[in-house]
Amino acid sequence: MNFDAIVVGSGISGGWVAKELCERGLKTLVIERGRHVEHRTDYQDFATPWEVPHRGRVPQEEINEHYAIQSQCHAFNSATRQWWVRDSEHPYATPKDRPFSWIRGYHLGGRSITWGRQTYRMSDVDFTANKLDGNGIDWPIRYADLSPWYDRVARFAGISGAIEGLDHLPDGPFLPPLELNCVELEFKRRTEALRPSRRVTVGRCAHLTEPTPEHTALGRGPCQMRGVCERGCGYGAYFSSLSATLPAAKRTGNLTVVTDAIVERLDYDHAKRRVSGVRVIDAKTGQGRSYQARMVFVCASTIGTAQILLSSRSEWFPNGLANASGALGRYLMDHVFGIGARGTHPGFLDRYYYGRRPTGFYVPRYLNTTERTDVDFVRGFGFQGYSERSTWHRGAQQAGIGADFKRQMRTPGRWEMKLVGFGEMLPRAENRVTLDTRRNDKWGIPLVHIECTHSDNERRLAERANQDAVQMLQDAGFENVTALGAPRAPGSAVHEMGTARMGHDPKTSVLNGHNQAHDVPNLFITDGSCMVSTGSVNPSLTYMALSARAANYAADLMGSGDL
Ligand SMILES: Cc1cc2nc3c(=O)[nH]c(=O)nc-3n(C[C@H](O)[C@H](O)[C@H](O)COP(=O)(O)OP(=O)(O)OC[C@H]3O[C@@H](n4cnc5c(N)ncnc54)[C@H](O)[C@@H]3O)c2cc1C
């Protein structure tokens, strides 16, 4: 069969590209290395607590043997284990003293099934930062370029949130917001009264609080507040490739999906300056085959995409396809994570909350934006937080026996609050993905080698995030307040990005401002690889907007005969 376009990867970015291309009438093939997943029937979201093995825990021997890295992710448990790769089957290399946590899942839908669904826009504070402080290269786009695409993806995905009118956290066409609980409202009141430059808003999340006809036409329904989202949602209440973009692509009649097909490399035709084929290895049989199309979108996630392009060496691109600049694989970033503070509140003991809300609250970045204080670092951080009653929140996770334990389980416990910081990480050339020249995986593909560390800027920023979080909790009347501590290894925020960055100049960047490779016009990359800086907000909404924008640009080029 002839295809107009091939999309590698079916996660958040690949799903968006497939939807847009199919809706533009292009015959599109999605190639996914993992297994097929059937929306609704392959989830564990209707399992009752007593049906979940080991009450959610995965036996330590199994973790040690197969999931040493993946189990570091908070969403990993015995009801979600199927959404993570086995580290034992999918190894990668790092220097011993510089770990990087590569958290991932290989299956249809990618990490759109397990993601936390927090969805914020970047602003011109982010798009101009590199240019203004000289770290990294300038973004080739500004907020105005992306704003209509943010609107488009937000309407389709369904983002719930509150209008705040902040320039550095632009609003969107939100579905009705979820509610803050009484302790979060008290935190908001006291924080904003003491420091008006710091806003506390309800978390913006990709959940249907009030589905529109566009959502229900895809079989999606409203959020049931069950709090088991990372298992997959049979109601399609949160945005994923399986609930939203792939069904939309499928109904056009233009979509073909192949699963269990590992893209090994892209072939390059030098005479035409084009990708001429996508070579895959069948994950089950180990047999190789090849697909052709007029253009190729690589959306295999930041590190997976770098691996494919670095493996696609040729006489003309000896250091990896579309890598005349040498930037491919470099400038790997993640958000600084594991920082913030927690505390308990002495009051509100007669109050509770209804349901299991799928979001908490958000304190957008204020340093170097609304607060121009004299700090010894550039950029900033935001906080995601929540408050819950300690005993009942932990519920089935707690161990115990006897009368005392039963008594304890009958009381909800004190209110706890946690502020989790997400800090900006600067782009640095030495943070990079390369191929291991000595070791291959079981399909004969060279292993990825990841080298990535925090710089002094990240360490200073983390220290300040810890101090501010402690101070804000204490000022709002919390007790037993402690900082969360030093940042965790890069990768832990699961926001890895930057290995094929956009830029004005083909000498220093891989992609132009439309996610098109400078060196190979029929090659597009729209996952996190394209990012030029991290900003401080969760990145996936930006990947969605960039993917939709690039797909429509490519469809225009094809329509006008320029591709
Ligand atoms: C627990 C958790 C919470 C998160 N919370 C948030 C959040 O709140 N907000 C936010 O913005 N982000 C969040 N993220 C991050 C978010 O999931 C990612 O940013 C997003 O999924 C990236 O999209 P992607 O399309 O680049 O990659 P993915 O969604 O990972 O999809 C990549 C796909 O490519 C496939 N693939 C890889 N290599 C190949 C190959 N060689 N051949 C064929 N196919 C291949 C993979 O199998 C996968 O299906 C979270 C992630 C996790 C795990």
Q: What is the pLDDT of residues 29-61, one digit of tens each?
A: 999 999 999 999 999 999 998 999 998 999 999
Atom 51 in ligand 1: residue holding the nearest Cα: 115
Ligand 1 contact via 12 beta carbon (within 6 Å): yes
In ligand 1, the atom with minimum distance to the C-alpha of 540 is 11
Atom 4 in ligand 1: residue holding the nearest Cα: 115
Confidence class of residue 354 from pLDDT cuts 50, 70 and 90? confident
Residues of the chain above pLDDT 90, percent: 93
Atom 9 in ligand 1: residue holding the nearest Cα: 118
Q: Which residues, 6+ apart, have CB-to-CB distance to 20 below 8 Å?
A: 547, 548, 551, 552, 555
Atom 2 in ligand 1: residue holding the nearest Cα: 115
Given a contact cutoff of 8 angstroms between Cβ atoms, the answer to whether 496 and 450 are in contact is: no
Instruction: Indicate if the pLDDT at residue 1 is higher than 80.
Output: no
Beta-strand (E) ranges in 270-327?
274-282, 288-291, 293-298
Average pLDDT of the residues in 5-15: 98
Given a contact cutoff of 8 angstroms between Cβ atoms, the answer to whether 380 and 423 are in contact is: yes
Given a contact cutoff of 8 angstroms between Cβ atoms, the answer to whether 304 and 12 are in contact is: no
Atom 5 in ligand 1: residue holding the nearest Cα: 116
Task: Return the half-sphere exposure (C-beta side, CA atoms, 13 A cut-off) of residue 402.
Answer: 2
Dist. CA 334 → ligand 1 center (Å): 13
| Candidate of 111, 121, 240 to mutate for ligand 1, largest count of ligand atoms within 8 Å of Cβ | 111
Give the angle subtended at the CA of 46 by the CAs of 44 and 51, to the nearest 5°.
Answer: 75
Which of 373-382, 417-426, 460-469 comes out lowest in average pLDDT? 373-382
In ligand 1, the atom with minimum distance to the C-alpha of 15 is 25
**Which pLDDT belongs to residue 147?**
98
**Which pLDDT belongs to residue 396?**
62
Q: What is the mean pLDDT of the chain?
A: 96
Atom 27 in ligand 1: residue holding the nearest Cα: 301
Dist. CA 87 → ligand 1 center (Å): 16
**Cα gap 176→184, rounded to integer Å:** 18
**Which pLDDT belongs to residue 340?**
98
Tens digit of each residue's pLDDT (9 = 90 or more) over 107-153:
999 999 999 999 999 999 999 999 999 999 999 999 999 999 999 99
Given a contact cutoff of 8 angstroms between Cβ atoms, the answer to whether 263 and 312 are in contact is: no
Neighbouring C-beta atoms of residue 88, cutoff 10 Å? 11
Ligand 1 contact via 358 beta carbon (within 6 Å): no
Tens digit of each residue's pLDDT (9 = 90 or more) over 326-340:
999 999 999 999 999
Ligand 1 contact via 535 beta carbon (within 6 Å): no
Instruction: Indicate if the pLDDT at residue 553 is higher than 80.
Output: yes
Tens digit of each residue's pLDDT (9 = 90 or more) over 280-303:
999 999 999 999 999 999 999 999
Tens digit of each residue's pLDDT (9 = 90 or more) over 210-228:
999 999 999 999 999 999 9
Confidence class of residue 563 from pLDDT cuts 50, 70 and 90? confident
Tens digit of each residue's pLDDT (9 = 90 or more) over 145-183:
999 999 999 999 999 999 999 999 999 999 999 999 999
Ligand 1 contact via 301 beta carbon (within 6 Å): yes
Q: What is the 3-state secondary structure (H, E, C) of 443-500?
A: CCCEEEEEECCCCHHHHHHHHHHHHHHHHHHHHCCCEEEEECCCCCCCCCCCCCECCC
Residues of the chain above pLDDT 70, percent: 99
C-alpha separations of 308 from 312, 343, 356 in Å: 6, 45, 40
Neighbouring C-beta atoms of residue 176, cutoff 10 Å? 10
**Cα gap 541→13, rounded to integer Å:** 9
List the helix and strand counts (H, then E) for the chain: 13, 16
Nearest Cα to Cα of residue 537 among 199, 157, 119: 119
Average pLDDT of the residues in 485-499: 97
Q: Which residues, 6+ apart, have CB-to-CB distance to 143 below 8 Å?
A: 121, 122, 123, 124, 127, 170
**Which pLDDT belongs to residue 523?**
98
Average pLDDT of the residues in 400-418: 91
Specify the residue for token string 């830029």: 503
Ligand 1 contact via 521 beta carbon (within 6 Å): no
Dist. CA 116 → ligand 1 center (Å): 11
Atom 39 in ligand 1: residue holding the nearest Cα: 300
Q: Which residues, 6+ apart, have CB-to-CB distance to 329 below 8 Å?
A: 306, 310, 320, 323, 432, 433, 434, 499
In ligand 1, the atom with minimum distance to the C-alpha of 262 is 42
Ligand 1 contact via 114 beta carbon (within 6 Å): yes
Ligand 1 contact via 157 beta carbon (within 6 Å): no
Ligand 1 contact via 32 beta carbon (within 6 Å): yes
Instruction: Indicate if the pLDDT at residue 237 is higher than 70.
Output: yes
Atom 46 in ligand 1: residue holding the nearest Cα: 106
